[in-house]
Amino acid sequence: MSYQVGVFVGSLSKVSINRRLAKALLRLSSGGNLKLREIPIGNLPLYNHDFDADYPPEGLAFKKAIAAVDALIFVTPEYNRSVPGALKNAIDWGSRPWGQNSFAHKPSAVIGTSPGKIGTAVGQQHLRSILSFVNSPELAQPEAYIQFTEGLINEDGEITDQNTAAFVADWLEKFEEFVCKVVSVNPK
């Protein structure tokens, strides 16, 4: 069985190393049972409660894109020991208005890369807390904190280090198994 997977890239930068990692995920999943596609977050206005009565087209399109997939992958950098504001804003849009949470029961996974030795561990922990609140079941293991070094992932999303490529491919396999389990328990 194949699964449609929405991918959120937490960084809005066109040269983001996390965007490269997202491209690597798409590349590694090509031909497999996970059909990955990015759900862009950059065009969303800043969320506020005033929109709940009359959602703008960008918010409605975003919620529709989430509804169209079976699972979600969050590829996030770490900004100030947390998630980027754009990613938090997107989660706020997708989880509102109250009672219309698009993330509820959608299996999810978190991955990220950073030049630091602990990768994006602290930011991912914060994101996991947010995903728990919006009731998105999360892949707990294996955790995926990738230390980025120059040349590790090229512009086309090719992971040049064999061990890292094998780790990310294994991570995707574990995520597929997790999605299968969650979807079987929480069918649409």
The string of pLDDT tens digits covering residues 51-101 is 999 999 999 999 999 999 999 999 999 999 999 999 999 999 999 999 999
Q: Region 170-188: what's the mean pLDDT?
A: 92
State the pLDDT at residue 188: 65
Task: Name 7's bridge partners.
Answer: 38, 73
Model pTM? 0.96
Q: Which CATH number fits domain 3-185: 3.90.1150.10, 3.40.228.10, 3.40.50.360, 3.40.50.720?
A: 3.40.50.360
Q: Region 149-176: what's the mean pLDDT?
A: 97
What CA–CA distance (Å, rounded) separates 102 from 94? 5
Confidence of residue 166 (pLDDT cuts 50, 70, 90): very high
Does the pLDDT at position 119 exceed 90? no
